Every structure is written in structure tokens, then in C-alpha cells.
Amino acid sequence: MRTQYEITVIIPTFNEEVNIAGIIEAVYLTLSTNKIHGEILVVDDESRDKTIKIVQDLTLKYNNLKIIVRHSDHGLSQSVVEGFRQANSDIFMVIDADFSHPPCLIPHFYDEIKKGADVVIGSRYTHGGGIKQWPLKRRVLSLGATGLGRILFPEVTDPVSGFFALRREVIEGYQLRPRGYKILMEVLGKGQWKSIIEIPFTFTDRQEGESKLSFCIISDFAKQILNIIAYSFVFRNNHVWNEWKKLTRFGLVGLSGVFVNTGLLYLFTEYLGLYYLIASGIAIEISILNNFLLNDCWTFKIKDEPDLYIQNWFHRFFSFQCVSIVGLLINMGILYFLTDFFGIYYLISNFIGILIVFFWNYLVNRNLTWKAKLHY
């Protein structure tokens, strides 16, 4: 517990001489007009411009302002984590120096933490959020990164946001391995949290100075994802591990469906004398029902997670049913395409189809049929 301040606003900087004085003033004013006793912590990686000097001068004006200059292992994520270490409060807020993140929202983040959220994320992709002035290349990269992040954290719409707040307990005692730009993924993957709230905001690209995003950062991101996945297998008690559990259960349920399907097909044709295509139709439908029921009460444990987007049992079934039918069509499409156009042996084509459809079914159902609301 460090209760000297109510919140620490961490501002990582590298060569931000044009923005830094303005952002510090904006944060300061927001905190004071909202009567929040907050600390402003600039974490700089030996900027080669006047950033450090400007901040040092401003510490004379603002007594809640502090600067840390790091001399080794430079990087955005490392700087943010250093900010967590040196913060003199139990609530951390991270914001860019270049006005991409509106400082006026800080009190909103603070309130949500006070109300009980463990992590509060400024989201560009939730209803009401957005991005201004981004070139197509950045949008595509960002969507790719967000997509990957959402596989690990399906409930979070913007897991790579750089604008977020959290309680100290979320990360205290956990081994963060900061790398690259996406420190929030590290926090979500390795920290302990139950409740998350997202606040929509519009990301405005920097007016001054330039972005440091490069290909190095993309490869860092890939390494970071692999590291979080490895971590989830070793330590288990975390959100990513829970996602693997769901995926595995979903697979087992799918397997049970194959047995139900084959068994019924045999039964209906051999003992009831039904025409095999009709028998197959009924068997498919019953196996879909089988899979739905098992997934509903076991894979996604509805009882533990009562706050789903689709509340009504029947609507969930309808959603699952539609996804399954589309899946079936995709499967047949792949079978036909690979066999007829590429001359691949039809059982192999079919197997490839099953694999692809398995992931299709899982991802769509996870993100639609059984998507939980973020809440606390």
C-alpha cells in the first residue's frame, strides 16, 4: 500500500519536447479541477531533445510532478513498468504524451476503479470509440494486433490500448516481462483481475513529433504473445489459461458430437430403416443439440458467468445453430474446392475442412453465442 496519492498518472516519453509541457499542464488541471490528489510521473528514456530539461523545470511549478530518467533497457513497456514500481499510490493510469489520449477522461477512469473495476481500458473499438487521422497501413496493423489480442482476451475490445488504469494489486507480485509497445497485454495476461471496464475514446494521431512504431515493434509483439501463451501454460491461474480450457472443452464436445452423429446415423438407417440422407439430417440436428447443451453448461459454464450478451437460452441455441450450419457449408465448400480444383484426396480435403471449421465455430461462438459482458 502506498497511499501518498490517490492516483499516479504515468507519462512515458521519448523526445516529446513539443508536447510534454502541454500534456503535463492538461493532466494537472484535470486532476485539480476534479479534486483528485494525483501524482504525475514522467518516465523518460534519455530523450535527446529538451524533454528532460522541460520537465525538470516544471517540477518547480508543480509539486506533484516527478521525472524518472532511465539509462538502460530502453522501451515504452519497460518505462511504464518502471512507473508502476516507482508510483506513490495504489491506482496507476497510463497516458501518451502526444495528446493521442484525451487527458480529460482521467477522472472517468479513476471513478470506475473506485467503483470496483480492477482494470479500466480506453477503447478505440468499443461503441463510441474511434480513430482519427490514421493512415491505412497503421489501421491494418492495429486491427491485426487487436485481432490477435482478442483471441487471448475475447471480452476486451481493445487489448492493445496504451490508455488504461489499474489497481496496484493486479500486477503486484507477478513477473511482468515488458517488451515492445503493448504493455496492457502483459498486464491482462499475467496479472490477476476479475473486472474490466472499457471507456470509449477517440484516438487522435499526434500533431507534433513522430510515431516510433516500426517493424521491430511488430516482431516484439509476436514474441510477447508467445511469451504470454507460454506463461499461461506454466502458471495456469490466469485468463489466457481459462481460454485454453474453453477451447479444449469445445474440442471434446465436438468430438462427442461426432460419436452421437455416427451412432444415430447407424441406428436410424439400420434399425428404423430410414433413407440414409434423411437419417443423416436428423443425426446432424441432434448432434448440434448435443453440442449446444454440453457447451452451454460445461465449456462456457453459464452458471458461473451469468452476464452474457445473449441472455435467452433459446437465442443462444439459435445462434449456435446458425453458426453450425454456416460451418457445415464452409466444410462442404472446402471439401469440394480442394478436391476438385487442387486434386487433393477427398478425405484429406475433408480433414482440412473440419480443422478450419472447428476454429470458425469456436471463434464465432466464443465471441457471439457465449460472449460475456464486462462487468463487476
Interface ranges with Mn ion (CB under 5 A): 98, 100, 206
What residue is closest to ligand GDD based on CB?
A: 162
| Cβ neighbours for 17, distance < 8 A, ≥ 6 positions apart | 47, 49, 50, 51, 54
Q: How far is the CB of 78 from ligand GDD (least distance, A)?
A: 7
221 binds, among ligand GDD, Mn ion, none (CB under 5 to 8 A by kind): none
Whichever of 181 and 193 has its CB closer to ligand GDD, that residue is: 181
Nearer to ligand GDD, 88 or 214 (CB): 214
Which has the closest alpha carbon to 244: 323, 358, 151?
151
Of all helices (H) and strands (E), which one includes residue 13? strand 7-13
- Locate all alpha helices (DSSP H) within 100-179, ordered by sequence: 106-115, 136-152, 168-171
Applying CB under 6 A, the residues found at the interface with ligand GDD are 12-14, 16, 43-45, 74-76, 79, 96-98, 100, 142, 160-162, 181-182, 206, 211-213
CB of 204 to Mn ion, least distance (A): 9
SS3 category, 91: strand
Q: 100 or 291, CB closer to Mn ion?
A: 100
Q: State the nearest-atom distance from the C-beta of 22 to ligand GDD, in Å.
A: 12
Report, in Å, the least distance between residue 11 CB and ligand GDD.
Answer: 6
In the bound state with Mn ion, the residue whose beta carbon lies nearer, of 209 and 281, is 209
> For residue 165, what are the β-bridge partners?
93, 120
CA 8 – CA 66 distance, rounded (Å): 10
Nearer to ligand GDD, 42 or 91 (CB): 42
In the 8-state DSSP scheme, what is residue 104? G
Q: Using CB distances below 5 to 8 A depending on partner kind, what does residue 181 bind out of ligand GDD, Mn ion, none? A: ligand GDD
- What is the closest distance, in whole angstroms, from the C-beta atom of residue 31 to ligand GDD in the complex? 18
* Cβ proximity to ligand GDD, 150 vs 182, nearer residue: 182
Query: CB neighbours of 127 closer than 8 A, spacing ≥ 6?
Result: 200
Distances (CA, A) of 365 to 240, 321, 322: 17, 10, 10
